[in-house]
Amino acid sequence: MTIDTKPRKIIVDVSGSGRIVENKEIPGSGYPALSEEAENATAYLPATYQPFLDSIAARGIAIDDVYCEAASPGWFNVSAEENRILVYLLCYDTKGTANVYMRPLEGVTIAVDATEMKIIRYLDVLKAPMPTSKGTDYRFAAQKGPFLTFSKPGVIEHPSFTLDGHIVKWAGWEFHVRPNLRSQNVISIVKKDGRSVMYQGFVSEVFVPYQSATTDWYWRTYMDAGEYNLGFLSLPLQPLNDCPRGATFMNATFAAGPDGSPYVTDNLICIFERYAGDIAWRHAEDLPVGDIRESRPKMTLVVRTIASNGNYDYIFDWEFQTDGIIRVKVEATGVLEISANAMKYVNEANMTKAEIDKMYGTLISENTIGVFHDHFFSFHLDMDVDGPNNSFVEGKLVKHLIPPEKSLRKSRWGLEKYVAKTEDEARIQINPIEHPAQYYVMNPSKKTRLGNQVSYRLVPSGVAPSLLDPSDYPQIRAGFTKNQVLYVNDMQTDVDTYHQKKM
């Protein structure tokens, strides 16, 4: 909640008394996520703002065909913007298509003070042609054949997991799942065969910096979780389309708005068993005693949420395997956010290679540039491997040379494990080519029956460094992208904390 532009944390006892348990100002430089009220109210301001009406009239666009939506402007160390809740508005021409993101009002920048509800800055610097609406409508009814004939998917008629309130049990797994406004859901108190694995895990942040530096694009450096709330962006999952037959759905009740009124999102989470023809384990032999063909099907349990943030839809799957693996999958789908441009075909203006390289995007259709951008997904994993006493271990794969008199082999590699003694030692920049390594969360007080330390291996995938300069303001704010693994002893576990401008 924000009072007098200052974020506050307020905890209310909802058990019956209605008493305010805690009410304190949150220190530091930051701001809460955009509220639904602020997004809706600011989106209507351009309709009564004469400079904007002049801009759309010059483009031949009727006000009834204009759709505007609120976006967070990021942070760029501008003193005039400090201690203000700012919203930038992105406006589109909706005529002829439901895919409004393919028809932006390029060059228009609208800055709004969301507290005073007024436009404080307006720019119209570019008159790029409006991309055509032809062929952009993604709805099935608007598509033209021929269409592929899809085979019927396999159906698990009688799922073998149980859901008791928020407790899920399946194949030796037991965990608690609950909806969350910021991260969509939180997986907690995870156990396998009665042994603790993880206290809680959730999406921490999604950093999406676009690479155009023009006046109306440079600020598009979104923090999708902290600025928008992934749970708030979640629409009800559709049975049979978003989740397979036999899925179990979970509703979410959130408190939102300045008065804390609750609202319900139906089908925010779905839980289902998945079998896609994969093999969990296999081995075959031709032996004198007879042929051996052994194979086990791979069945997994999936906890799914989907966030629809503007043009993008993020699909998050927490997948539990029978072999003890927890796999987190992320898919980015939806439609493109494009930049309108005068170019109709590549090198129309006889551009040099250097000029084409500096377009910071690709011409994907006439007058349509797909702007380069990143998606950095960060997850908070509070591990409890056989209990809360855990340490971070880096296992370095090291080449060892072999003396000629020892073997015809000249080299081999070994695994050298190092326990991080400080948090700095557990800040990892993954480079599998030059510095191959494995990573573990170890319980130093527990051993297996063979005497090995009880550990759980972390396997980061799809990792990439940020190419932004360390002094660039978006990179300062998203400093967590510098390292692909950050292990801390006393990580703040409140998933609902407000979004920090600086790190």
Residues labelled catalytic: 224, 312
Q: Which amino acid would we find at residue 487?
A: Y
- The region, left, alpha or beta by phi > 0 then psi within -120 to 50, assigned to residue 484 is alpha
Residues 80, 17: Cα–Cα separation, whole Å: 42
Closest CA to 240 of 143, 141, 153: 153
Beta bridge partners of 391: 442
Residues 283, 295: Cα–Cα separation, whole Å: 7
DSSP codes joined into one string, 235-274: PPPPBTTTB-TT-EEEEEEEE-STT--EEEEEEEEEEEEE
| Burial class of 483 by CB neighbour count within 10 A (0 to 12, 13 to 18, 19+) | middle
Q: Which amino acid would we find at residue 314?
A: Y
Look up residue 37 and give its two tokens.
Answer: 């009220």
Reported for 77-83, long-range contacts at CB under 8 A and 24+ positions apart, including other chains, are 77/473, 82/29, 83/5, 83/6
Spatial strand order of the sheet with 20-25 comes to 2-3, 6-12, 20-25
The alpha helices in 110-208, defined as continuous H runs, are none
Beta bridge partners of 6: 3
Q: For 208-237, b where at least 16 C-beta lie within 10 A, e where not — what string?
A: bbbbbeeebbbbbbbbbbbbbbbbbbbeeb
Cite the beta strand spans of 298-433 per DSSP E: 300-309, 312-321, 326-334, 338-340, 361-365, 368-371, 376-383, 391-401, 411-419, 427-428
Place of tokens 């075959």: 284
Residues 442, 384: Cα–Cα separation, whole Å: 9
* N residues, the chain: 503
Question: Which three-class secondary structure state does DSSP give residue 309?
Answer: strand
Which helix (H) or strand (E) element contains residue 56? helix 50-58
Residues 322, 34: Cα–Cα separation, whole Å: 40
Peptide bond into 146 cis (omega under 30): yes
Query: Phi and psi (nearest 5°) for 361?
Result: 180, 180
